[in-house]
Amino acid sequence: MKFRDYTEIVFEAGNILSVQMLEETYRYPREFLNRFYADYCNGIVNGLDFITKDDGVYLTAGMVKIGEKYYILPQDVNMDKWLKQYKPALRPSVEYSLFMANEDILTAKDKACGIKSHSRVTLRAEREMPNGALLLAKYKFRPDSRITLPSLQLDNSENPFDEFFQSGLLQLLECEYAHSRGKTTYHPLLFRAIQDYLKQKFPLSPYDFSLLMELQNHGIVAITSLITYIAVNKKNSPVSTNMTREKLFRELTECVQMPYTSAVYHVTESTQDSNKKTKRHTKLI
């Protein structure tokens, strides 16, 4: 068994880059990505979160994996400004898919520079997705308003997660966010809502506590773990693995809202017996 040598490259002004230095700068980053994300399927592997700033909703920098290739978005993108390029073609009140698709681009200049293959990922808004594209979100276009993110509404006693199912807001239930266990899971924005709800819930069941710890440690949870959580809460194991992502998330939010009451024993004293000994009785309430 032989491990790769550890090579540290020192770039000094005036020096000519050697073949070994060029090979090392190419080899290490490529091998690191392939090894670190080997178990991840196609999808978002890092970042590409949604945050709200003063001038609108932004998609943060991040990385996606498509066809064993990794593509990096180097900076945050203002989604409202980005949509302006599509406005002439978008129809009001029509739901569009915001997706990422890769395309090969090889020019004569690339060949002259020794580039064998050159591909890129573009973010697009269309009603239908091409094969091999990765869904980021769904959005019902409204030309007179900004993109709005769903959020947890704790003052809504009936369903504090209601906004995550409304088509008028940015819909993230189908977003393909990769997980290390080889399948996609939900976008971190949805998991943050689950985490925020569990933080204010009292008391927590043992299953709630385990889910909260997983979210606090990793930010996302595998779909298989969520199915197990639903099964033990609804006591109807096994949960169907064929349900839609929307129905699965709806059942997850229902289980999160289930109250938990631990067994409480109330001790009462009975009348004394003939031997003057006090009898105590316990009652489960």
Angle at 196 between CA 193 and CA 200, to 5 degrees: 140
Report field, pTM of the whole predicted structure over 0.85: no
Mean pLDDT value of segment 46-71: 93
Sign of CA dihedral 186, 187, 193, 196: positive
Confidence of residue 10 (pLDDT cuts 50, 70, 90): confident
> How many CA atoms, within 13 angstroms, populate the side-chain half-sphere of residue 32?
7
Q: Is the pLDDT of residue 5 over 80?
A: no
Residue 265 pLDDT > 50: no
Predicted confidence band of residue 84 (pLDDT cuts 50, 70, 90): confident
| All residues at 6 or more sequence positions from 201 whose CB lies less than 8 Å from its CB, including other chains | 208, 256
Query: Is the pLDDT reported for residue 116 higher than 80?
Result: no
Does residue 285 carry a pLDDT above 50?
no
| Res. 279: pLDDT tops 70 | no
C-alpha distances (whole Å) from 94 to each of 46, 85, 142, 145, 186 are 29, 17, 8, 14, 24
| The pair of three-digit structure tokens given for residue 121, joined into one six-digit string | 């990922």
Confidence at residue 283, expressed as pLDDT on a 0 to 100 scale: 47
Min mean pLDDT across 18-32, 106-120, 210-224, 264-278 is at 264-278
pLDDT recorded at residue 262: 67
Range of 93-97, 197-201, 265-269, 275-279 with top mean pLDDT: 197-201
**pLDDT tens digits along 154-202:** 998 889 999 999 988 999 999 999 998 878 999 999 999 999 999 999 9
The domain spans of the chain are 42-177
- Closest by CA to 160, choosing from 258, 257, 259, is 257
Q: What is the pLDDT of residue 89?
A: 82
The three-state DSSP-derived secondary structure of the chain is CCCCCCCCCCCCCCCCCCHHHHHHHHHHHHHHHHHHCCCCCCEEEEECCEEEECCEEEECCEEEEECCEEEEECCCEEHHHHHCCCCCCCCCCCEEEEEEEEEECCCHHHHHCCCCCCEEEEEEEECCCCCCCEEEEEEECCCCCCCCCCCCCCCCCCCCCHHHHCCCCCECCCCCEECCCCCEECCHHHHHHHHHHHHHCCCCCHHHHHHHHHHHHHCCCCHHHHHHHHHHHHCCCCCCCCCCHHHHHHHHHHHHCCCCCCCCEEEEECCCCCCCCCCEEEEEC
Span 21-35, average pLDDT: 84
| pLDDT above 70: residue 270 | no
CA-nearest of 263, 266, 269 to 282 is: 266
Query: Are 171 and 139 spatial neighbours (Cβ–Cβ below 8 Å)?
Result: yes
pLDDT at 184: 94
* pLDDT at residue 249 greater than cutoff 60: yes
pLDDT at residue 143, as a whole number: 82
Percent of the chain whose pLDDT exceeds 70: 87
Q: Which residue has the higher pLDDT, 259 or 117?
A: 259
Average pLDDT for the chain = 86
